[in-house]
Amino acid sequence: MTQVKPMRADARRNYERLLKAAVEAFAEQGEGASLDDIARRAGVGSGTLYRHFPTRQALLVAAHLDRIEALARRGDEIARELPPGEALVEWLNELALGMIQVRGLKSLLGSAVTDDGSAVATACGTSLKGAAERLVRAARAEGALREDVEPIEVLRLTHGVATASELADGQGRDIRRYLSLLMEGLRAVR
């Protein structure tokens, strides 16, 4: 069994500075932010950046993981406050809005809702897929969703809603309307 060595204090500081710089750069410039610029902002060399984050995707995941997990937890909070069908719609609204407001998040979540088994899909998708599973299951049990609707489909469709809303106005003002249209198509026929 291989043991993971704890990070040295200076390496830990570099890691934290890189993450902070990446969050700022991605917020300002989107997912295409210069990695060299991120290293400069953090006060380290490019080699240090690549030792901690071997790919752009690894840095994107690390920079957005806390936010993704917070979005997943938010689903459980909303589920305690609203009936299942309403909770699902409210959570999807927050998720879609987050994809528009946080540059790079939509692309990252697009990778996360694939079934390719990649590290990105696993790191980002696990908590979101779990929240979607719980919310969709409850909405189906309530009769608010068709029985054949799968959580991954709802996540993928929400990604599409965020994209459509972003194309419409760039601000997400149409998300609720688009989610309403989407949910009408997913509603159980009684």
- The pLDDT score that the predictor gives to residue 150 is 94
Q: Which of 168, 33, 171 is nearest to 101 (CA)?
A: 171
Kindly state the helix (H) or strand (E) to which residue 126 belongs, with its residue range.
helix 119-142
Contact of 138 with 79, CB cutoff 8 Å: yes
The correct answer on CATH 3.30.830.10 for the domain covering 64-186 is no
Instruction: Report the mean per-residue pLDDT for the chain.
Output: 87
Give the pLDDT score at 137: 97
User: What is the average pLDDT across 139-162?
Assistant: 94
pLDDT band at 11 (very low <50, low <70, confident <90, very high): confident
The domain segmentation of the chain, as residue ranges, is: 9-52, 64-186
> Distance (Å, rounded) from C-alpha 17 to C-alpha 74?
27
Strand, helix or coil at 4?
Answer: coil
C-alpha count within 13 angstroms, C-beta hemisphere, residue 19: 15
Per the rule left: phi > 0, alpha: psi between -120 and 50, beta: everything else, 117 is left
pTM of the model: 0.79
Is there a contact between 140 and 147 (Cβ–Cβ < 8 Å)?
A: yes
Under DSSP, the state recorded for 28 is: H
CB 68 within 8 A of CB 124: yes
pLDDT digits (tens, 9 = 90+) for 96-138: 998 888 877 887 787 777 765 665 556 667 888 999 999 999 9
Over the stretch 28-78, which tens digit does the pLDDT of each residue have? 888 889 999 999 999 999 999 999 999 888 898 888 888 888 999 999 999
CATH class of the region 9-52: mainly alpha
Q: Where are the beta strands (DSSP E) in the chain?
A: none
- The per-residue pLDDT for 38 is 96
169: how many CB neighbours lie within 10 A of its CB? 11
Cβ–Cβ under 8 Å, residues 38 and 18: yes
